[in-house]
Amino acid sequence: MRSSRTKSSGSKTRVVVVTPDPAFEEVARQTFATAPQAELELLAGGIAVHAEAIAEADATVVVVDLHAATAEEMSALDALSVRLGGWPPIVTVTDAFDKEVMRQLLKMRIADFLVKPVQPVELVRTCARVVQTPAGTEQSEAEIFSYLPAVGGAGVTTLAIQTALLLLGSGTQKTRPATCLVDLDFQHGACADYLDLEPRLDLNEIEPRPERLDRQLLEVMLSYHASGLAVIAAPCRPAEMRSFDPDTVTRLLDLVSSHFNYVVIDLPRTWFSWTDNVLLGSNRLFVVSEMTVPGIKHAKQLVTAVRERLEDGPRPQVIINRFEQRLFGAGLRRSDVEQALGEDFAATIPNDYRLVREAIDRGVPLDEVKAGNKITAQLRKLVAPTTSPDKAAEPAGKRRLSLSWARG
């Protein structure tokens, strides 16, 4: 196999490009010929042939062209990703957007991917972006919390908002972790209404050209609560039932996760084409239901469905919201819930309708209405094990992302 390599220079960014496609090889050659700070090594052929050479190369970034990728090629890429352990980062290039291939790349924690035809400026920017974290720098993942309703009206939005506020307040006053609440219920979302904010996310502007979404455009579409919580929410469209392209949603979430320490996602009950990717990218997944027999049945069915669809995804944990303990009389007891859900049962959240209603009407956190309330206390127990002030204080540029599947 042919190998084309420029002279080495320790101050340059070393880009190793592996491609069986002569056309993309020429694109890479011309692209980096005009970048004096880049040192290019071209390896003609598939990843399975050159995996050993890549692992031993002193590369800064590896670009792998999955032209007509086979099962052998994908397996070799997976093995290489594990062996490299995140450095150097790997950027993949595919001939077309394929949902199944993207899912596999997500599982491999590939740093970024591009779809042909690749513009030279896009290739350069992507390589520069994924190597912004210096080698040897300790990396950690953004913490992603997703809330999925098992039944309608389970109170998912209230729990998602309070979780985001708890995570925001988990550090010290000087090192408050950057936290973002994302409302993905584009038809009936209420996060902005609950917090008395103007929803600014315009998906119609993003969808035609998802690659336009960058930090500057994201900032325009962010709403900020008085607490400092950032919120991504679109205006409600109750009469419109539409599903956006998965690339649009995943690019949005990836950009959000690259600029925040914690991301809390409020998911709709309807399963869309992008739901799998969102769940796979989550660190914690909470299925929210109510204290009824149908509610518990639906929660159990949803947990089973998630496990069957996403074998490598996070383990779903069931929260029973608006729980009331009854010592006497008919009705379900906590022991019934524990028996029905088994190890999938996470916690019960006590019922306090007046408190929640007042907080919603005023657009403020529950703690502002009543400090030390039982709802917040229970949620704090649930999310506290993953909350670390030291981790939260890390600069955003020093974190490896959980949702790094669609940047660019």
Looking at 69, 96, 130, the residue that finishes a domain is 130
Range of 20's domain?
3-130
pLDDT at 260 over 90: no
Same domain for 125 and 170? no
Residue 405 lies in a domain: no
Arithmetic mean of pLDDT, 268-294: 92
Same domain for 72 and 96? yes
- Please count the structural domains in the chain: 2
How far is Cα 408 from Cα 395, in angstroms, rounded to an integer?
21
Residue of 39 and 320 predicted with greater confidence: 320
Task: State how far Cα 350 lies from the chain centre.
Answer: 29
If one counts every other C-beta atom within 10 angstroms of the C-beta of residue 222, the result is 16
CATH number at residue 100: 3.40.50.2300
Arithmetic mean of pLDDT, 23-40: 78
Same domain for 182 and 272? yes
pLDDT value, residue 42: 83
Same domain for 124 and 148? no
pLDDT at 157 over 80: yes
pLDDT at 321 over 70: yes
- Tens of pLDDT, residue by residue over 202-247, are 887 777 777 677 777 787 888 888 788 899 999 887 777 666 777 7
pLDDT value, residue 77: 83
pLDDT at 137 over 70: no
Residue 407 lies in a domain: no
Same domain for 250 and 395? yes
pLDDT value, residue 184: 94
Same domain for 124 and 190? no
Average pLDDT, the chain: 79
- Tens of pLDDT, residue by residue over 166-188, are 898 876 545 678 899 999 998 88
Same domain for 106 and 218? no
Residue 135 lies in a domain: no
Q: Are 392 and 262 in contact (CB under 8 A)?
A: yes
Residue 37 lies in a domain: yes
Looking at 90, 110, 130, the residue that finishes a domain is 130
Per-residue confidence band for 7, with pLDDT thresholds at 50, 70 and 90 = very low
Same domain for 226 and 321? yes
Looking at 99, 130, 161, the residue that finishes a domain is 130
Same domain for 220 and 245? yes
Most confident of 10-14, 143-147, 330-334, 365-369: 143-147
Residue 220 lies in a domain: yes
pLDDT value, residue 311: 81
Residue 408 lies in a domain: no
Same domain for 314 and 200? yes
Same domain for 106 and 201? no
Same domain for 384 and 236? yes
CATH number at residue 292: 3.40.50.300
pLDDT value, residue 343: 92
Whole-model pTM above 0.85? Answer: no
- Tens of pLDDT, residue by residue over 299-315, are 999 999 999 988 878 89
pLDDT value, residue 284: 93
Residue 342 lies in a domain: yes
